[in-house]
Amino acid sequence: MIPLHICGYIPESINEGAGLRAVVFISGCKHACPGCFNPSSWNFRAGKPFTEEEQLRIIQEIADNPLLDGLTLCGGDPFFSAPACTDFIRKYKELCPGKTLWAYTGFVYEKLLEDPDMRSLAELCDVIIDGPFQMELKDTTLLFRGSRNQRIIDVQASLSEDSVITL
């Protein structure tokens, strides 16, 4: 198994979710969507190893920044590395109570729930932007997503209602 890598980290962003967010770009994606904004992230070894020390450093930085609303996982696709990302997010949730978690994925939400590893990560999220980027549905006017097929899903409400609830 390839150790978890990250190919980027932004300490403060307003582009990958509501409010001011830290953003971690998890390396590795097999969707290979034509027109992807970040094809350099497809390689699971892109960037650098996301060691426990680096994870804790980023989590502490997030905890120490009172302006941040939360963390967003981008990629690549974090759900291809769900077990390792779940471990990271459990630490994040423990050390950053009250801060939210958003995640981007090329999988549709319903498929995430079918796989036990992906479901474990999904259940820790507050919001998931799901679905592959589709060039023919590209729309630069959309908030927080690149194509019209992608949904902004309120995960906790969706789990509670056992139905997809979008924002």
For residues 5-13, average pLDDT: 98
Residue with tokens 């699971």: 44
Find, among 74, 88, 73, 100, the residue nearest to 18 by Cα.
Answer: 100
pLDDT in tens, 109-123: 999 999 999 999 999
Share of the chain above pLDDT 90, in %: 97
The Cα-based distances of 55 to 4, 30, 35, 61 in angstroms read: 11, 24, 30, 10
pLDDT the model gives residue 1: 63
pLDDT the model gives residue 19: 98
Q: What radius of gyration do the chain's Cα atoms show?
A: 15
Strand order in the sheet with 100-104: 48-49, 5-13, 21-26, 70-75, 100-104, 127-130, 151-154
pLDDT the model gives residue 37: 86
pLDDT the model gives residue 2: 74
Please tell me the distance from the alpha carbon of residue 28 to that of residue 5, in angstroms, as a whole number.
Answer: 8
Residue with tokens 């290979």: 32
Q: In 14-42, which positions are buried (b, 16+ CB within 10 angstroms) versus exposed (e)?
A: eebbbeebbbbbbbbbebebeebebeebb
57 falls in which pLDDT band (50, 70, 90)? very high
pLDDT in tens, 68-87: 999 999 999 999 999 999 99
H or E element that contains 114: helix 109-114
pLDDT in tens, 129-156: 999 999 999 999 999 999 999 999 999 9
Please tell me the distance from the alpha carbon of residue 116 to that of residue 151, in angstroms, as a whole number.
Answer: 21
